[in-house]
Amino acid sequence: MKKAVWRSVLVYVLFSVVMSLYIFQWADTSIPSPYQGTAADPATFMTEQQLLLSEDYSKVRNVLYFLTTPYEWLLLFVLLGLGLSAKIQSWSQMTVRVQALQICIYLFWMTLFTTILTLPFKLYGYNLSKEYGINVQPFQGWMKDFMLDFWINFFITAIIVVVLYSLMKKSAKRWWLYAWFLSIPFTLFLTFIQPVYIDPLYNDFYPLKDKQLEAQILSLADEAGIPAAHVFEVNMSEKTNAMNAYVNGIGDHSRIVLWDTTLNKLNDQEVLFIMAHEMGHYVKKHVFLGIISYLAVSLAGLYLIYRLMNFIIRVWGSRIGINHTHDIATIPLFFLLLSLLSFLFTPISNTVSRHHEIEADRYAVELTGDQTAAVGSFQELSKSNLSQVNPPLIVKIFRYTHPTMLERIHYLDTYEFKEIEKK
């Protein structure tokens, strides 16, 4: 197993070199000739400096992503392969007798181990965004959010893992099915409470200050058939220069949220288009479709993890000091398989997400009838976020939940209004 660990380290190093060469040297990110000179060509709406910054910033961020994800897999494999997981399990069992507390102790040390060893990547990402003028948050504030992330994720993960491993112990053959059934109300609960109880831990949310603009947005919502009493604004300008807007939550806790940076940088018509886009997600029921898709995929994923864990423990369990699937020491294996399967499924989920975004774009331009605002909002978004307008194919497949800016701007710029049918 030690040889396997060292081979994994070597594979990781080689992978990092190849991905870096691909993104920095081999990938073609130039604008195709049919798009040159059009509204989708960044040369028509970005300065030369913005073009250089967006390319450089995006390349480094993309490399950082493709280095961080397999690095996290490597850390989990090291815990298993060097027998550290079995040792932490023994220590937690000697500390307390209750299994739930044993799991919490184990999970704390595992989480602390991976968090500390991935911290350099996160710090580099923070400093990178500061250097390029995207992040304006002081280090103290960033560390506060980082620690808040740690404890919220640990608390939620501890609940999930305690329940999961209790099911594994009670039903070795059906735990994956029972876990899936329990995940349904838990997922809905988290989706329901996130806008009201979790998001405000990070930022201040309040009804839109510009009442005239709010009235226009609510009028647009009424035209779209959306019951809405408020549009929420969040003070992101103290943390970032980037722009964003989103819709989250379900039922009475559904929220349409605008970053204040979006309000500061876009004119009213562009803001209305952005809001119409978010309303499109609501009207097209993308949140509910996302939840349903997630639950369907998670059922298949849990079953695959069940089969793979049994196989791995049966073949290699004795080499890593693990005897049963329900042993606490298999927690890194569960998360490793979960992360690998999630990564492999990412191209499919991103494709579906990009389709939903195009649907929302189409809905927004149909509802507002304002093609100029639609194009202008994405051009401004590209500049503020230093977005790479035409990213490499592999980056698009694995990272882009939205169509590229080249695709979105071109689609809206060439949209034919004779197809418009007001909903």
Which residue positions form the known binding site for Zn(2+)?
277, 281, 357
Which tokens is 198 given?
């979790």
Whether the CB-CB separation of 350 and 400 falls below 8 Å is answered with: yes
Residues with catalytic function: 278, 361
Q: What is the SS3 assignment for 158?
A: helix
> How many Cβ atoms from other residues are within 10 Å of residue 418's Cβ?
5
> Which distant-in-sequence residues (6+ apart) come within 8 Å of 238 by Cβ?
136, 137, 141
Considering just the CA atoms, what is the radius of gyration of the chain in Å? 24
Which tokens is 345 given?
């499924």
Cα–Cα distances in angstroms (integers) from residue 93 to residues 22, 34, 99, 299, in the given order: 46, 65, 8, 31
What residue has token string 């501890």?
158
Which tokens is 277 given?
């886009």
Which tokens is 329 given?
């020491």
Please work out, in degrees rounded to the nearest 5, the angle formed at the alpha carbon of residue 402 by the alpha carbons of 183 and 348: 55
Of 289, 338, 352, residue with least CA distance to 179: 338
Q: Which residues of 126-144 are buried (b: 16+ CB within 10 A; e: fewer)?
A: bebbeebebbbbeeeebee
State the binding site: 277, 281, 357
What residue has token string 């497949």?
397
Say how far apart CA 20 and CA 359 lie, in whole Å: 34
**DSSP code, position 419:** G
Say how far apart CA 268 and CA 279 lie, in whole Å: 16
Say how far apart CA 161 and CA 107 lie, in whole Å: 9
